[in-house]
Structure 1
Amino acid sequence: MRNHRAHYFGSEEKARIEIIPMIDIMMFLLVFFMLVTLKMIENNGMKLELPQSSTSAPIETTKITLGVTRDGALHLNGVAISEVNLIARLKELQATKKVDVVIAGDKGVDYQRIVRTMDVVRMAGISSVALATSQN
């Protein structure tokens, strides 16, 4: 007997490559790398040395990251911004949807500057404010 598979009409069935499982795997890999890439963009390109906290927990719905550098400059999602423009921008965002703000202050920032930044965010009508830390 021959080792070829035969069709019931007697003709041989040709070998073929199944492409549907390959497409499924490629879609899975595409989604996986997209999610990994989105997670990597979280820091917005600012180099800050965050203080450490043993009780820190990740925030699930962070919309805006507000960075405060050692010299007191504000950065909204990585772009420098003044207090006046920040208030206007936050009010504009708050009018369209719920906004959560995370303040990422550099380790050497004066505590009063962080409190002032929280006051600026609250003046815009946003009560959901968190402080970013790094875990031990």
Structure 2
Amino acid sequence: MQYLEMKKGRVEIIPMIDIMLFLLIFFIMITVHMIPSQGLPTRLPGSSSAQEITKPKVILTLHADGSLEFKDKSISLRDLETQLRHGDPSATQVTIAADKGADIQALVKVMDACRNAGVTAIGLAAKPVS
């Protein structure tokens, strides 16, 4: 009688680690490219005294045609006041990113709507000019 010697199978872990690392890097790179940039779709005016501020709680975008955006949706001034009143308006910091072609009167109306809602901290977004 002859007995066959059976070898135990081995799981090679080093190639498996290499593959897992490659997959991890691949998915990280794909995820980074899938996240959209959060830039403002307006041409901001330039300012020589522009300063970096902490991340504002509310960003309003005023377009050149006078339309207003809040949280990526068009909004009227009346609806804006209602939205701003829901939280604590005195603690809310609003930054208005107005297109440099926007009408000054439209900007003043947006600022008035913020003031009517009780907001006391209103800033204007600008890009720094060297």
TM normalised by structure 1 equals 0.66
Partner of 2:94: 101
**Residue 114 of structure 1 corresponds to which residue in structure 2?**
107
User: Aligned letter for 1:70?
Assistant: A
- Structure 2 matches for 1:37-116, cutoff 5 A? 40-41=37-38, 43=40, 47-94=41-88, 98-116=91-109
**Counterpart amino acid of 1:57?**
Q
Partner of 1:4: none
Describe the SS at the equivalent of 2:100: coil
CA distance in 1, matches of 2:80, 2:120: 15
Matching residue's letter, 2:110: T
Q: What displacement does 1:135 show?
A: 1.2
Please give the per-residue CA displacement for 1:21-45, whole angstroms capped at 9, x wherever unaligned.
x9xxx9xx9xxx7xxx69x4253xx
1:5-60 C-alpha deviation (Å, 9 max, x unpaired) = xxxxxxxxxxx97x9xx9xxx9xx9xxx7xxx69x4253xxx10000001001111
| Bigger relative CO (Cα 8 Å, ≥ 6 apart) | 2
Query: What is the deviation of 1:109?
Result: 0.8
User: Does the CA-based 8 Å contact 1:61-1:100 persist in structure 2?
Assistant: no
Count of residues in Structure 1 that have an aligned counterpart in Structure 2: 119
- Alignment RMSD, CA only? 3.5
1:61 CA displacement: 3.5
